[in-house]
Amino acid sequence: MPDEFYKHLANNIDDGAKSVLATMKHTRIEPAYRNRKFIVYEMVNRIPEKLATLAIMDFVCDDEEGCSTQIEWLETGDIVTVGHRTRPIRR
């Protein structure tokens, strides 16, 4: 179940990431699929202030490279790939 998986992740991250997670007011897991849009906002004096609109562009997952998601900032057109690698990056 998503809540159990979230608790597992939260209990198995390093202390620095835990402290960042603790500062977040909204940690509910949301399903993501291609072309889904998310509005990112910050509450300022009880009024939401929009920071960005994000769109999920693509998912990639394989045994060799791990899993990643491409996210586009719609205001700027910038695309960022985030994810987890199963193997360390070799330099």
Q: Does one domain contain both 42 and 74?
A: yes
Within its chain, how far is the Cα of 4 from the centroid? 18
Q: Does one domain contain both 82 and 66?
A: yes
Give how many domains the chain has, as a whole number: 2
Q: Name the residue among 3, 56, 57 with its Cα closest to residue 27.
A: 3
Residue-level pLDDT at 2 = 66
Could you read off the pLDDT of 23-72 as tens digits, one per residue?
A: 877 767 677 889 999 998 888 898 989 999 999 999 888 777 778 889 99
Q: Which domain holds residue 37?
A: 31-91
